[in-house]
């Protein structure tokens, strides 16, 4: 028996467009049961390793996927971790980057691939992008080099490209090339061959046991700055009952208007122990607080830099940290660190 025949992949189906088929009578989209998967994709029979499936019931649109579902996915992986060489998660595209980011923090010391994928067209349609996405994701999840997993981290595979999950953002609602990773290089590209960019793949040093983290605190808000925003609007966000952290989406390299009332609100939030993380609204680049005068006052008000972290990753990292720590200063310090390649820090 060859090495590839010994490999196995667990396919976890949460829902999304990829799990839909077209009803021939009505033309409407309906979920299909995964015992029909091989009918839709006979190509899977050509793999010479085991593929098992687990299906959420009911299947979920990704807009319905949140912390409880992240825990369910993570627990499924944790319980089956020793039985499989890799995992593929079928997921709707809209919140896929949030789920991938969350899993990267929840699955500490991960040393096997967890590949999220989906499609823009249902797998039951003739022009679907789902078949190629799924087939390649399974192949990557099973791939090894010198006995070790080729890509031992949480990733998103979509339209010929493998991205680090916690660096990824959905960029297009229509094109098959739906995702981008603006501040981090692709981990692999799939054409005639799958080309791995080994130098940017995250590896854990030494043999460490997978550690599952379930504790998540959702007392977070996202505040996107815009010209003409009112004091009442900003105040209403910071007056949210139970609020513990805010992701501040600022202009450019981390800039914000220098309104006295805004500075007062931010300073008051810091005194209350609310952690405010500054991320840029730009697709590419990093927050550089202090570079311009319009960001110095944010530093003075206790706002911390998110550097080049995505909003999706900032939100899920804060949920993770708030679930584990009570002290705001500890959380601020932890946000300045890279746990699994989610941010570039000096």
**Alpha carbons 149 and 142: distance in angstroms, whole number:** 7
Residue 317 CA neighbour count, 13 Å, CB half: 27
Q: Where in the chain is the domain with CATH 3.40.50.40?
A: 220-335
Give pTM, 2 decimals.
0.92
Q: What percent of the chain has pLDDT over 70?
A: 91
DSSP 309-346: --HHHHHHHHHHHHHH---HHHHHHHHTS-SSSSS---
Please say if the pLDDT value at position 12 is more than 70.
Answer: yes
**Per annotation, catalytic residue among 17, 117, 280, 310:** 17
Please say if the pLDDT value at position 1 is more than 60.
Answer: no
Report, at the CATH architecture level, how domain 4-212 is classified. 3-Layer(aba) Sandwich (3.40)
Q: What is the DSSP letter of 147?
A: T
Residue 6 has a pLDDT of: 77
Residue 23 has a pLDDT of: 67
**Alpha carbons 38 and 42: distance in angstroms, whole number:** 5
Q: Which two tokens stand for residue 191?
A: 């054409």
Residue 173 has a pLDDT of: 80
**Sheet strands side by side (includes 304-305):** 220-224, 245-250, 275-280, 304-305
Report, at the CATH architecture level, how domain 220-335 is classified. 3-Layer(aba) Sandwich (3.40)
Q: Where in the chain is the domain with CATH 3.40.50.1170?
A: 4-212
Please say if the pLDDT value at position 103 is more than 60.
Answer: yes
Q: pLDDT category, 126, cuts 50, 70, 90?
A: confident
Q: Average pLDDT, whole number, for the chain?
A: 89
Least confident of 7-11, 59-63, 134-138: 59-63
Residue 31 buriedness (CB in 10 A; 0-12 / 13-18 / 19+): middle
Helix axes 293-300, 260-271, angle to 10 degrees: 30
Q: pLDDT category, 28, cuts 50, 70, 90?
A: low
Residue 33 has a pLDDT of: 65
Q: Is 17 a catalytic residue?
A: yes
Instruction: Render pLDDT for 297-330 as a digit per residue (tens, 0 to 9).
Output: 888 889 999 999 999 999 999 999 999 999 999 9
Q: Is residue 9 a contact partner of residue 142, using CB atoms and an 8 Å limit? A: yes
Q: pLDDT category, 2, cuts 50, 70, 90?
A: very low
Least confident of 2-11, 104-113, 127-136: 2-11
What's the rounded mean pLDDT across residues 119-148?
Answer: 84
Instruction: Render pLDDT for 242-286 as a digit per residue (tens, 0 to 9).
Output: 999 999 999 988 889 889 999 999 999 999 999 999 999 998 889
Residue 147 has a pLDDT of: 85
Look up tokens 């089956």; give the residue. 80
What's the rounded mean pLDDT across residues 160-166?
Answer: 95
């Amino acid at each position: 028996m060859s090495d590839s025949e010994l490999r196995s992949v667990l396919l976890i189906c949460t829902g999304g467009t990829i799990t839909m088929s077209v009803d021939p009578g009505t033309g409407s989209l309906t979920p299909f049961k995964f015992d029909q998967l091989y009918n839709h994709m006979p190509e899977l029979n050509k793999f010479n390793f085991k593929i098992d499936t687990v299906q959420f019931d009911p299947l979920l649109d990704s807009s319905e996927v949140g912390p409880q579902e992240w825990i369910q996915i993570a627990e499924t992986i944790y319980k089956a971790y020793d039985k499989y060489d890799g995992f593929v998660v079928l997921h709707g595209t809209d919140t896929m980057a949030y789920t991938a980011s969350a899993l990267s923090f929840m699955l500490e010391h991960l040393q096997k691939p967890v590949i999220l994928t989906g499609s823009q067209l249902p797998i039951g349609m003739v022009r679907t992008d789902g078949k190629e996405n799924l087939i390649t994701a399974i192949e990557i999840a099973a791939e090894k080099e010198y006995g070790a997993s080729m890509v031992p981290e949480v990733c998103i595979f979509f339209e010929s490209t493998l991205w680090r999950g916690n660096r990824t953002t959905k960029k297009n609602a229509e094109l098959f090339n739906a995702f981008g990773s603006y501040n981090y290089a692709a981990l692999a590209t799939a054409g005639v061959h799958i080309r791995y960019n080994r130098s940017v793949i995250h590896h854990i040093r030494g043999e460490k046991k997978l550690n599952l983290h379930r504790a998540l605190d959702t007392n977070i808000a996202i505040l996107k700055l815009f010209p003409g925003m009112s004091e009442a609007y900003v105040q209403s966000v910071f007056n949210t009952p139970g609020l513990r952290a805010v992701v501040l989406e600022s202009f450019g390299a981390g800039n914000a208007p220098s309104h006295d009332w805004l500075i007062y609100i931010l300073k008051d939030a810091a005194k209350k122990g609310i952690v405010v993380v500054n991320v840029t609204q730009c697709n590419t680049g990093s927050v550089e607080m202090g570079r311009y005068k319009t960001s110095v006052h944010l530093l003075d008000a206790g706002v911390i830099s998110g550097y080049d972290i995505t909003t999706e990753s900032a939100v899920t990292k804060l949920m993770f940290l708030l679930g584990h720590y009570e002290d705001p200063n500890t959380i601020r310090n932890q946000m300045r660190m890279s746990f699994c390649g989610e941010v570039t820090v000096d």
